[in-house]
């Protein structure tokens, strides 16, 4: 790059609106969406990114076989939590992003940013946990990088993982493939990851500890693919939860989505924790939960396959894509039969949840 090249384009987010980056710009809701749309797509826009999927899909070497590629950084606080730690999360998260592209995850990279002073044994526990999680998910960590920054310039440990996988079927699993009539399935109860983290942070004690749902979803997705289910779209329900994921997909696919409150599985203790802390489970992050959009004719069979898998025992059909309705809109029918709009999350609910 010619270092003398001037930066001629003015910032696409008006400085008068947002002079600085806020925590909410990373929260998975409206401001995150704006930052990605305006700044990231504004600079990097290309067909792979414009697809707004969990990863990029391309071919290599002129081979028709498709390859998926994705990345996530993990800044979760605290590093260890009920049901996992930053290491297992960094493996599950990227395995899941590849799975949501319909890919079989194969290889991960691991980039560590360590704050000077991190106990050596903490690092060792985290990398062992990553290795266990990778083995369990059937992937290999094949390349990495380690940086150390001075005390006070990071918070213990941040990890980035990127992943490469292969797509071994002809489905086009992407938001653009969603169509009216599709049925929405989730693979289990929502909100556990976010509430597990919040309970630790807030020092809350419940009768039984809420454990994160953090898990690798590649086996579950593979089971659907192997059974020939007509999967149109998959999305893991991380930052911003089910509500934000559905809003993003409805926006890209330009469809209207309806969900039924009574059908959405939420554990009683999670619901209670949400009430105490003022959260809506629809917006709480999960790390082992997905929504699948499948053709209506396959809905029953897909649900059976999910429920037969250890990570899908609590699977449920929660809604559908409407034949009519305003494109981009997500609506919820409540337990008492009232209908309300489910918007994308605004503001920042749960900073550093992943």
Site for its own copies in 316-335 (CB under 8 A): none
Query: Given the DSSP bridges, would you call strands 140-149 and 157-167 parallel, antiparallel or unpaired?
Result: unpaired
The contact pattern for its own copies, residues 58-77, with x = CB under 8 A and - = no contact, is x-xx-x-x-x-xxxxxxx--
Asked if 101 and 57 touch (Cβ cutoff 8 Å), the reply is yes
Q: Shortest gap between Cβ of 315 and its own copies (angstroms)?
A: 21
Q: Which of residues 163-222 bind its own copies (CB under 8 A)?
A: 164, 166, 168, 211
Ordered alpha helix ranges (H), 51-102: 86-100
Q: Is 150 in the site for its own copies (CB under 8 A)?
A: yes
Q: Shortest gap between Cβ of 143 and its own copies (angstroms)?
A: 4
Distance of alpha carbon 167 from alpha carbon 103, whole angstroms: 4
Q: Is 134 in the site for its own copies (CB under 8 A)?
A: yes
* Of the residues 179, 271, 309, 352, which one makes contact with its own copies according to CB under 8 A: 352
Q: Is 300 in the site for its own copies (CB under 8 A)?
A: no
Asked if 237 and 285 touch (Cβ cutoff 8 Å), the reply is yes
Query: Given the DSSP bridges, would you call strands 104-115 and 140-149 parallel, antiparallel or unpaired?
Result: parallel
Q: Shortest gap between Cβ of 214 and its own copies (angstroms)?
A: 8
* Of the residues 37, 154, 251, 272, which one makes contact with its own copies according to CB under 8 A: 154
Query: Given the DSSP bridges, would you call strands 257-260 and 330-333 parallel, antiparallel or unpaired?
Result: parallel
Bridge partners, residue 290, by sequence: 236
Residue 16, both tokens: 């008068």
Length in residues, the chain: 354
| Closer to its own copies by Cβ: residue 27 or 281 | 27
Q: Is 131 in the site for its own copies (CB under 8 A)?
A: yes
Q: Is 110 in the site for its own copies (CB under 8 A)?
A: yes
Distance of alpha carbon 59 from alpha carbon 167, whole angstroms: 10
* Of the residues 29, 30, 79, 83, which one makes contact with its own copies according to CB under 8 A: 83
- Which of 94, 311, 313, 133 has its CA nearest to residue 219? 311
Q: Is 7 in the site for its own copies (CB under 8 A)?
A: yes
Residue 275, both tokens: 């009430």
Q: Is 130 in the site for its own copies (CB under 8 A)?
A: yes
| Closer to its own copies by Cβ: residue 86 or 257 | 86
Asked if 87 and 129 touch (Cβ cutoff 8 Å), the reply is yes
| Closer to its own copies by Cβ: residue 261 or 348 | 348
Q: Is 111 in the site for its own copies (CB under 8 A)?
A: yes
Distance of alpha carbon 267 from alpha carbon 189, whole angstroms: 6
Applying CB under 8 A, which part among 45-53, 279-287, 306-314, 334-342 lies near its own copies? 45-53
């Amino acid at each position: 790059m010619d270092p003398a090249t001037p930066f001629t384009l003015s910032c696409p987010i008006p400085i008068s609106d947002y002079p600085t980056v806020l925590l909410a710009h990373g929260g998975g809701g409206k401001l995150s969406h704006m930052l990605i749309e305006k700044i990231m797509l504004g600079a990097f826009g290309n067909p792979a990114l414009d697809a707004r999927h969990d990863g990029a899909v391309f071919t290599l070497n002129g081979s028709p076989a498709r390859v998926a590629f994705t990345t996530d950084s993990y800044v979760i606080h605290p590093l260890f939590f009920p049901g996992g730690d930053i290491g297992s999360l960094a493996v599950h998260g990227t395995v899941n992003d590849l799975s949501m592209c319909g890919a079989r995850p194969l290889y991960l990279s691991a980039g560590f940013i360590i704050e000077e002073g991190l106990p050596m044994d903490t690092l060792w526990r985290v990398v062992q946990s990553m290795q266990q999680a990778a083995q369990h998910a059937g992937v290999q960590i094949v390349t990495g990088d380690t940086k150390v920054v001075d005390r006070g310039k990071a918070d213990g440990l941040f990890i980035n993982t990127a992943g490469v996988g292969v797509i071994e079927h002809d489905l086009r699993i992407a938001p653009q493939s969603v169509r009216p009539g599709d049925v929405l399935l989730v693979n289990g109860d929502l909100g556990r990851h976010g509430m597990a983290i919040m309970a630790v942070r807030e020092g809350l004690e419940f009768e039984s500890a809420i454990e994160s749902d953090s898990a690798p979803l590649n086996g579950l997705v593979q089971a659907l693919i192997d059974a020939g289910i007509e999967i149109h779209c998959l999305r893991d329900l991380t930052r911003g939860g089910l509500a934000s994921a559905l809003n993003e997909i409805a926006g890209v696919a330009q469809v209207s989505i309806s969900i039924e409150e009574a059908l959405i599985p939420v554990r009683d203790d999670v619901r209670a924790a949400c009430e105490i802390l003022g959260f809506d489970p629809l917006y709480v992050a999960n790390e082992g939960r997905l929504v699948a959009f499948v053709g209506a004719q396959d809905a029953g069979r897909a649900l059976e396959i999910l429920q037969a898998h250890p990570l899908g025992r609590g699977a449920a059909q929660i809604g559908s894509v409407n034949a009519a309705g305003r494109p981009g809109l997500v609506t919820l029918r409540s337990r008492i039969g009232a209908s309300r709009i489910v918007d994308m999350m605004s503001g920042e609910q749960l900073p550093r949840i992943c």
